[in-house]
Structure 1
Amino acid sequence: MTELFDSRLASKQTAFTEIPIIDISSLLNGENPLQVARQIGDACEQVGFFYIKNHGIEQPLIDEMYRLTKSFFKLPYEEKNRLNIVNSGPTLRGYIPMYAENVDPANTRDFKECFDCGAHYEEVSPFFGPNLMPSTLPQFQAVAETYHSAVLSLARTLIGGIALSLDLPQNYFEQRQRKPITIQRILSYPPQMGKVTQEEIGIGAHTDYGFLTVLSQDAVGGLQVRNRAGDWVTAPPVEGTFIVNIGDLVQTLTNDRYTSTMHRVINTSGLERYSIPFFIDLDFDAVVEPVPTCVSEALPAKYAAYTCGQHKFKRFVDSYAHLQDVAAV
């Protein structure tokens, strides 16, 4: 019998409790932020991923974002491609066709479509500028901007919890996030049929480039997280939650106390999978180096300082074919 699944793609179907679920209501309302911060810190140290419940974002807004996400990806290719990300210049916003972004290009072609937007700015610079929006979906821009604003506020609260978990003031990172790089992404993962190999999956194994990712995933599933033993563990959808993970910046800032965790998506469900990740980083010019509470004489800094924007742009150059000839910022 023909093997229909590459053994390199195997994951353990585990209970979602193996990735902790954290009730963040006491962080949001200020009743007991330190207790929640300790749970966040434990999750960042042990897993790099955690679910959050009682997050304060209304379900109707999430549902409407999914409705418009599905409507966008059902548009004719020619209409979507008029919004191609290559047309946005250094702003790097718009439609990303199948195979146009590959996060693990040495091993995998990404079998997905994306659309990126963010906070609107008139002036164009790397990661900032105007959004390219679908004119045939008149509600899309308003809903996407409302969703972006809501999740940005949530992300800032979570980052305050991370600061507390590191024995820093809750507002410690705010001085480096006055105008942070943010990306509001929507994703469509077509189902993969027949033999599935590592050479082409939904999204290849990668760590996230920035500070924090707040992900809404639909009921289809397909997200896998690599644990500390090197095993791939399924991260199933959990109703009423977002799944949150830390990125490369946090690993640097914490001097490897918290590590950015490899993850990937493989959609063999037979259904289209949709997800809505929100990415937040630091300001473009913010200096990234280990924070004081994560450095000591016994544990000196492992990282030389770098700037957030330079790091992120380099990762984009690695992922996007149309940037291969562009010098790093």
Structure 2
Amino acid sequence: MAAKIPVVDMGKLGLGHFDSPQEEERKQVGNEIAEAFRNVGFVYLKNHGIPQQVIEEVFSSSKEFFCLDPQIKRNYSRGVTDIQGYTEVNRERLATEKDIKELRESYDINRVDGMFPEEVPALNSSTSRIIQYCKDLSTRLLALVELALGVKKNYFLSSHQRMFGANNPSCLRLLYYPPLSEGYNKEGLIRCGQHTDYGTFTLLFQDTMGGLEVLNRAGQWLHADPIPGTILVNIGDLMQFWTNDEFVATEHRVLVPSEEVKQSRARQSVVCFVHPDDEVLIEPQNSCSSVYTPITSKEHTHRRFQETYSY
């Protein structure tokens, strides 16, 4: 039977300081999350502590930006090394098949003090708020993973000191999948090609459209439909390296829904990519039996960007 994506409730942990006396509760939740990362690479989290209003504000300002004139959006284009800004359709390619077309736009925020479009003032304030919540949640998740794996305290936390600061590629990505207009050639069209994420883990906020699919270890595609009140978290390449394949960076994709009513609507999501600081050397646990060569966070991420971006 195919492993499903588990739902883990973080509510019992509260939102206070992580060193509060809840050892057994923290260990239980950490073990549930770790088990999901071992078996599927994805987990739904509920009672995660990020207010729904904060999420909705980001979706609103994101939509406002993507509805701007294309030339205005191009004024804020990102690069390969400078990763703050806009990426138009066909600039980033994740699918490896030549006959696959990906219909997707994005805006990346690596620094809250970086470039923002002056035409949408709310984008800066709304994304700055959710980034702080994402940093707090990421810190709690890293501590839970440390506890579940039995590694020393701050083993992972100490490598993520500058999230959304200088010399760290952590990024909030606003994604917009345009609607399919009437008469559009749908042959070979998808919204996001099959890929793994690059960093430690990813926090995903979905709208109600669906379309995300996850490839489990049995080679079966699972629907990762949105569940109200939850966010999805998945493992990235560097955490798979770090754990020497104990945790799996699962391939995933976004397909175009078959229902015409959904094809005529845009799809949105907000993604927080969490990465270690640039200089951190990722060395697998039990490295004597590993197939991975140690690599820094910056080297791996830059190599992946060079592979997927076209300028």
Aligned to 2:173: 185
Shift of 1:195: 6.3
Shift of 1:90: 2.3
Seen in structure 2, the aligned counterparts of structure 1 residues 195 and 232 have a Cα distance that, compared at 3 Å, is farther
Write the distance in 2 (CA, Å) between the matches of 1:248 and 1:232. Answer: 19
- Partner deviation per Cα, 1:207-253 (whole Å, 9 max, x = no partner): 00111100000001110001112121111000001000000011101
Write the distance in 2 (CA, Å) between the matches of 1:95 and 1:152. Answer: 22
* Kept after mapping to 1: 8 A contact 2:57/2:126: yes
TM-score of the pair, normalised by structure 2:
0.88
Shift of 1:170: 4.3
- For the pair 1:272 / 2:266, whether they are aligned, the reply is yes
Aligned to 2:297: 308
Shift of 1:26: 3.4
Gaps of 5+ in 2: 163-167
Aligned to 2:83: 92
Aligned to 2:30: 37
Write the distance in 1 (CA, Å) between the matches of 2:240 and 2:121. Answer: 40
Shift of 1:190: 2.1
- Partner deviation per Cα, 1:281-300 (whole Å, 9 max, x = no partner): 10101000113xxx287xx2
Seen in structure 2, the aligned counterparts of structure 1 residues 262 and 28 have a Cα distance that, compared at 3 Å, is farther
Shift of 1:147: 1.1
- Partner deviation per Cα, 1:182-223 (whole Å, 9 max, x = no partner): 1011001123476644x4310100000111100000001110
Shift of 1:103: 1.6
Aligned to 2:276: 282
Aligned to 1:78: 71
Shift of 1:83: 0.4
Q: How many residues align?
A: 290
Letter in 2 for 1:111: L
Shift of 1:79: 1.0
- Aligned with 1:251 (options 235, 240, 264): 240
- Partner deviation per Cα, 1:279-327 (whole Å, 9 max, x = no partner): 0110101000113xxx287xx22222110100000000001112xxxxx
Between the two proteins, what is the percent identity of the paired residues?
33
Q: How do residues 1-329 of structure 1 correspond to structure 2 at under 5 angstroms?
A: 18-29=4-15, 30=18, 31=22, 32-86=25-79, 90-107=81-98, 108-120=100-112, 131-179=114-162, 180-192=168-180, 196-197=186-187, 199-268=188-257, 269-270=262-263, 271-291=265-285, 295=286, 300-322=289-311
- Partner deviation per Cα, 1:88-147 (whole Å, 9 max, x = no partner): x72211010001101224443321000001224xxxxxxxxx522111111211111111
Shift of 1:265: 0.4
Seen in structure 2, the aligned counterparts of structure 1 residues 170 and 214 have a Cα distance that, compared at 3 Å, is farther
